[in-house]
Amino acid sequence: MTMRWVAIINTDQEQIDSGDSISTEDNDSIVALSFATEQEAREACYAYAPPRMYTFDECTNCYMCRKKFNKFLRRPFNCQNCGISICLNCATNWPSTMLPETFTLKHRRRSVKICLACDWLNDSFRMSLVNGDYKKALALHSTGNINLRSPFAKGNHETYYPVHCAVVGGKLPLLKWMVESHCCPINPRKRHSKHDTRYSSIGNEAIVTSKGRSVLEVAMETNLTHILRYLVVEKKMNIMLYRNLDVALRNLAFCLKQLPEC
C-alpha cells in the first residue's frame, strides 16, 4: 500500500475564526490535496492556503496611506493576495487567474483588488527571475507575499508561470530552488486524477504559457544547455513532445559545438 500525504486547506475564514470543530465531510470550504511526500504537501499548503482577510473592524485606516476609512469617500477593500485593508487609491486590479483558485472559491470574479505593495513585489519578482537575479528573487520571496505557483497574467503579453521566467533568466540555481526546494510543478500536461472531484484540478494544472508552451519548450528556445540538461536528464521531461524541428536541430548543433574535441 502506497502512503500519501494529504494537505487539507480550509478556505472559510469565518469557520476558522469561530474556533469550532470543523467537519471535512460535505464541506465545500475544505480542499484536500494528495501528494507523494511531506515536502510537497507542505509547499502546496503554502501556495494554496488563502491569506487571512483583516476585518474592517480591526483596521479603521488604510494599511498603506494610513487615511481613515468611511462609507462614502474612502471605502475599505481587502487585498486578495495578502489580506490587508486598503482604500481604492492604494489598490489595483489583477486578473483572478493570478491567484490560486482556493483564494476565491466563494466569489470567483474576472478581476480582484490587490494592494500596490503586492503589485510592486510581483512585478519585481518577475523581473528578478527574467534577469537571473538569484539573491533578489529570494529576498522578494521572503516577504511572504509572492506565490511561486501563480502565473504572471498582467497586460497583453504572453502569460508565464514563475518557472518559465526562471528558465528565461538562465540561472539554474534559481530554477532548482523553485523546483527542488519549493516543489514547483513543471508538468506540461494536466495529470488525470483517479478521483475526479470538484477540486481535482487544484495543484494539477498544466504548467504552460498562454500560448501553450511548456517549460521545456521555453528552454529549447533559449539555447541554454545547462537548463535543458537539468530538465531532460534530471527531471525526466520527455523531449520527444517537442515539435519544432528547426529549433531542436539548432539546439543539437549548439550542444555539439560545446563538446570538447576527441
Q: Predicted confidence band at 126 (pLDDT cuts at 50, 70, 90)?
A: very high
Confidence check: pLDDT of 127 > 90: yes
pLDDT grade for 254, boundaries at 50, 70 and 90: low
Segment 139-167 shows an average pLDDT of 93
Confidence of residue 193 (pLDDT cuts 50, 70, 90): very low
Cα(10)–Cα(45) distance, integer angstroms = 10
pLDDT of residue 109: 77
Q: How far apart are the first and last CA of the chain?
A: 50
Look at residue 229 in the predicted model and tell me its pLDDT: 86
Residue 194 confidence (pLDDT) above 60: no
Confidence category of residue 204, pLDDT binned at 50, 70, 90: low
Single out the residue of 77, 75, 76, 81 nearest to residue 104, CA to CA: 81
Q: Model confidence at 112, in pLDDT bands (50, 70, 90)?
A: very high
Write out pLDDT tens, residues 36-67: 889 998 998 899 999 988 888 888 899 999 99
pLDDT interval class at 205 (50, 70, 90): confident
Confidence of residue 220 (pLDDT cuts 50, 70, 90): confident
From CA 203, how far away is CA 1, in angstroms rounded? 23
pLDDT at 157: 85
The number of CA neighbours under 13 Å toward the Cβ of 110 is 0
CB-based contacts of 128-134 (< 8 A; 24+ apart in sequence): 129/162, 129/165, 129/166, 129/168, 129/169, 129/174, 130/165, 130/168, 130/169, 131/169, 132/169, 132/170, 132/171, 132/174, 133/169, 133/171, 134/171, 134/173, 134/174, 134/177
Res 198 pLDDT > 60:
no
**33 φ, ψ (degrees, to nearest 5):** -120, 140
- Look at 22-36, 42-56, 95-109, 110-124 and tell me which has the smallest mean pLDDT: 22-36
% of the chain with per-residue pLDDT over 90: 43
